Amino acid sequence: MKNTSKEQKGERMDEKHLFKFKCYPGVPCFTQCCRDVTIVLTPYDVLRLKKALGISSDKFLDDYTVIIPKEKRLIPMVALKMNEKDKNCPFVSEEGCAVYQDRPWPCRMYPLDMEDDGTFRIIATSSHCLGLKEEKESSIREWLVDQGIVPYEEMNALLSTVTTPLQAQDLDIENPDIEKMVFMALYNLDRFRDFIFKSTFLKRLDVPEERVSGIEKSDEELLKLGIDWVKFGLLGEKLFYVKNQSS
């Protein structure tokens, strides 16, 4: 395995690459990276954070995010809202991250970022991120697993089955109602659950009983259904049967 020096910011590395880094409460820059940053949230990030805070997805989106529409994209950018006054992340304190077990994907990755081709690069310098001067060494894969990245990778891979074709097809959809439904199915899961159980959704679509009971109990199962529903509605994938309305 190839070793990395401390100053290789920007170099592309694969997951077997050895990487020297350690972040811990005693490091002099502790929590400095939790200020004035753009942290883009995936649907799974929102799911984990709203559960950790014990609030609804609606309240989380209202109180903790900035939603930025993207031109010619159905799905907007959802970013964590920094405090207006001091630009700190709302979850940072002197003791560290208050939502550490459920921190978003970019926070788990830092000081790395992942490129579209699956390689990694260091996005910080060792003069700012002093953990890069530490001697603890592991492969990028070992380190990522230690950061709890696996369920995030699984959910992001599922999400990409929607986002990648949508980007490739350059769908010209300018219907705000469709945009709202897609956003709800991916990001606003508590509203989506209400929609499923309080609208004609289950009367119109044949969803197996085990799946219905799964989405009642599990936000993860609900998000998977949301992804399938968007693929069914927008990409024409035959993931649900439409019930015979006369029966």
Q: Which residues bind ligand SF4 (CB under 6 A)?
A: 23, 27, 29-34, 39, 89, 91-92, 97, 99, 103-104, 107, 110-111, 129-131
Q: Quick check: helix, strand or coil at residue 122?
A: strand
Copy the structure tokens of residue 177.
């109602």
Cα–Cα distance for residue pair 145/3, rounded to 1 Å: 19
Other Cβ atoms less than 10 A from the Cβ of 176: the count is 8
Nearer Cβ to ligand SF4, position 34 or 215?
Answer: 34
Nearer Cβ to ligand SF4, position 64 or 229?
Answer: 64
Widest CA span in the chain: 69
Nearer Cβ to ligand SF4, position 36 or 216?
Answer: 36
CB 146 within 8 A of CB 108: no
CB of 163 to ligand SF4, least distance (A): 22
CB 42 within 8 A of CB 220: no
Nearer Cβ to ligand SF4, position 97 or 205?
Answer: 97
Query: Could you tell me which of 72, 81, 69, 50 has the C-alpha nearest to residue 191?
Result: 50
Cα–Cα distance for residue pair 153/65, rounded to 1 Å: 22
CB of 20 to ligand SF4, least distance (A): 12
CA angle 146, 151, 153 (to 5 degrees): 90
Cα–Cα distance for residue pair 107/34, rounded to 1 Å: 9
CB of 132 to ligand SF4, least distance (A): 7
Nearer Cβ to ligand SF4, position 30 or 232?
Answer: 30
Nearer Cβ to ligand SF4, position 18 or 130?
Answer: 130
Nearer Cβ to ligand SF4, position 20 or 141?
Answer: 20
CB of 31 to ligand SF4, least distance (A): 6
Q: What is the DSSP letter of 41?
A: P
CB of 13 to ligand SF4, least distance (A): 17
- Burial of 188 per CB tally in 10 Å (0-12, 13-18, 19+): buried
CB of 228 to ligand SF4, least distance (A): 29
CB of 221 to ligand SF4, least distance (A): 25
Copy the structure tokens of residue 66.
């900035």
